[in-house]
Structures are given as C-alpha cells and as structure tokens.
Amino acid sequence: MRVIIIFLIFLGLVASCASKPPKQQQNICSIFEQKSSWYRIVNKSEEKWGAPIHVQMAIMRQESAFQNRIKPERTKLLGIIPWKRKSSSLGYTQAVDATWDWYREENNKPLASRVNFADAADFTGWYINKTYMINNVSKNDAYNQYLAYHEGHGGFKNKTYKSKDWLIDVANQVKSRANNYQNQLEGCESKFKKKFFGIF
C-alpha cells in the first residue's frame, strides 16, 4: 500500500512538472528543447491536417502562453465580488465549449481534453484546416487564420474584426511570431526530426 501511495505521488509530481509552460517562448527551438514530446505532436497534426507547425504554435502561444489550465478572468459583481467568467474558454487553445464539442463530435474523440497538449494541437490543426475549407484562407496565412480563429468562421466571413483595432494588432503579432517561429524552425528542425525517428 505504501509503495502504491509513493508511486501515485510520483505520478502527480511528474504530471505537475509536465504541465508547466515552457520558458523562452519567443524561440520555437527552445520550446521544443524544453518540451521533448511537443515537436512530435505538432508534426503529427501538420501531417494530418496540413497545418504548418509554426502557425499552430503561434496561435496557441497567443491564446494561452502554453498554460494548459488557463481560463478567462471572472467578471466582478458590484465591482468587487468575483462572478461569472467571460466565456467558457479553457486550456492551450482557449476553445469555448461549443467549438470543442464540435471538434470532439466530428472527430469521434469524446475524451479529448483542452488541457492535453496532444488534443490541443490536433484541434488547432483541425480548425486551421476548417478555416481553409470554409473561408478559403491559406493554412500558411497566420494573420487571417488567427482572425478566423478568434471571430469564428461566420464572424470572419462578415468581417467583424474590422471594427476591432485591438484584434488587428493581435493578429499582426501572431503573424510576426509565426514568421519568427518558421525562420527559427528552419535552423533546428532537422535535430528534432532525428530525435523523432531515432525514438520512434
């Protein structure tokens, strides 16, 4: 019994460490050095959905800074009492309940979780592909992909983002980060591919 308890504590510590966001998030090579399984995961999503690794990572970085359990802040009742959250967004992707349910149902993944990086990366690739199919946005176009990700496919079609200067600024930041990630990855991806094929 004592051995089982110690083992469970160990697993809890491992899980706790594994969920910590990477440091030096401006460099994708550093991220993959810190999170040894992440390259394999986003590469799998790219192969499945055709969604470039650098676009996936730039979107998730913007949405959550790679914090797996982050939620929107609560509103304040009477200015002081913590009240309802602004939305049902959760996890790496900040997907709301309805969009996540759509993804799970369409992909027959009832147990997929927003706090799991593998599920989050697959979701991001799926959504990028959906945006390409519905809105005809190139999967390499991080700027418009992010606008569609934030506003939804209908909102993007209706150009709701045009009245949101702050969102345009954020989309430009995502575009810039995606470009940086792409350039950085060109210099280090071969190393991660070697590790990938060496292990698997």
Please compute the mean of the pLDDT values over residues 59-84 and round it to a whole number: 71
Tell me whether residue 197 is in a domain.
no
* Alpha-carbon gap, residue 93 to 62, rounded angstroms: 9
In this structure, what CATH number is given to the domain that contains residue 104?
A: 1.10.530.10
Tell me whether residue 196 is in a domain.
no
What range defines the domain where residue 158 resides? Answer: 36-191
Q: Name the pLDDT band for 67 (thresholds 50, 70, 90).
A: very high
pLDDT for residue 193: 85
Q: Percent of the chain, pLDDT > 90?
A: 74
pTM of the model: 0.84
- Give residue-wise pLDDT tens across range 129-154: 999 999 999 999 999 999 999 999 99
* Alpha-carbon gap, residue 116 to 124, rounded angstroms: 12
pLDDT for residue 83: 41
* Alpha-carbon gap, residue 107 to 167, rounded angstroms: 30
Domain count across the chain? 1
